[in-house]
Chains A and B, each alone.
Chain A
Amino acid sequence: GAVVSQHPSWVICKSGTSVKIECRSLDFQATTMFWYRQFPKQSLMLMATSNEGSKATYEQGVEKDKFLINHASLTLSTLTVTSAHPEDSSFYICSARAAGGIFSGANVLTFGAGSRLTVL
């Protein structure tokens, strides 16, 4: 089945530094990837939609200059948290949708295992 790999699974950084999280689709091409943020014991909040070869679409309230998204290939999207601060500490999860017809099984989203960011 479809597999999405996220790296790193956890990262600790100092305040003011930038952190990059990678999301890779291992056995399929993903034209669209989504980035979510999840606080403890809460639901997933969509941050942005990443489309291969074009600019990401950010949800309302998400700072695009703070959370840089690059989707340079059909198998890789990256999220960079710039100048991280303690309030950016969270669980970041990506998901990917395979290329395919609207009602094809390939339209199902597959999630990565998540990346836990802790900013000191």
Chain B
Amino acid sequence: GENVEQHPSTLSVQEGDSAVIKCTYSDSASNYFPWYKQELGKGPQLIIDIRSNVGEKKDQRIAVTLNKTAKHFSLHITETQPEDSAVYFCAASILVAGNKLTFGGGTRVLVKP
């Protein structure tokens, strides 16, 4: 089955700096890669996703890149703000009936004011 690894497990950045989280996946058939933000005591919220037919996607301060050959994808947060502090999870799945997600281990991001 699919295996997703995520690094780093914790990330501390100064407000205004950029944060980068990297994930690798094992199943070359995976074609959908969402990123979720989870705040303490809450469920994950989708912040951005990318499909395998796209190499990069951007939404304001958040961008995701995908390298299908190397089987890795990354989340980039620019101009970080204290409210970006949360746990971020990457995930991978195959877009067929079921859409079962395999999650990475999570990255705890702390943005210091």
Q: Which residues of A contact B (CB under 8 A)?
A: 4, 6, 32, 34, 41-44, 46, 49, 93, 95, 97, 102-103, 107-114, 116
Contact B43 A93 (CB under 8 A): yes
* B106:A116 contact, CB within 8 angstroms: no
CB pair B43–A109 under 8 Å, yes or no, is: no
- B98 smallest CB distance to A (angstroms): 6
A42 touches B106 (CB 8 A): yes
CA distance A6 to B43 in the complex (A): 10
How long is the Cα–Cα vector from A108 to B33 in the complex, in angstroms?
11
For B42, list chain A residues within 8 Å (CB).
113-114
Residues 77-113 of B at the A interface (beta carbon under 8 Å): 89, 95-106, 108
Q: A43 to B101, Cβ gap below 8 A?
A: no
Interface residues of B toward A: which range?
20 to 34
Which chain A residues border B76 with CB–CB below 8 Å? none
Name the one of A97, A107, A113 contacting B43, with C-beta atoms under 8 angstroms.
A113
Give min CB distance, A98 to chain B, whole Å. Answer: 10
Contact flag A43-B89 (CB < 8 Å), given A6-B43, A49-B100? yes
Contacting pair A114 B41 (CB below 8 A): yes
CB distance B44 to A111 under 8 Å? yes
Q: Are B100 and A43 in contact (CB under 8 A)?
A: no
Interface string of B4-47 (1 = CB under 8 A from A): 00000000000000000000000000000010100001111110
In the complex, what residue of chain B is closest to A57 when comparing beta carbons?
B98
In the docked arrangement, what's the CA distance between A32 and B93, Å?
15
* Closest Cβ–Cβ distance, residue B29 to chain A (whole Å): 14
B residues within 8 A CB of A111? 36, 43-46
| Chain B residues within an 8 Å CB radius of A107 | 95, 99
Name the distance in Å between B99's Cβ and chain A's nearest Cβ.
Answer: 5
In the assembly, what is the distance between CA of A113 and CA of B102, in Å?
A: 19
Could you say which residues of chain A place their CB within 8 Å of the CB of B108? 41
Question: Which of A44, A103, A114 lies at the interface centre, i.e. has the most chain B CB atoms within 10 A of its CB?
Answer: A44
Complex CA distance for A102 and B93, rounded to whole angstroms: 12
* Contacts known (A93-B43, A103-B95, A110-B46); A46 close to B100, Cβ less than 8 A: yes
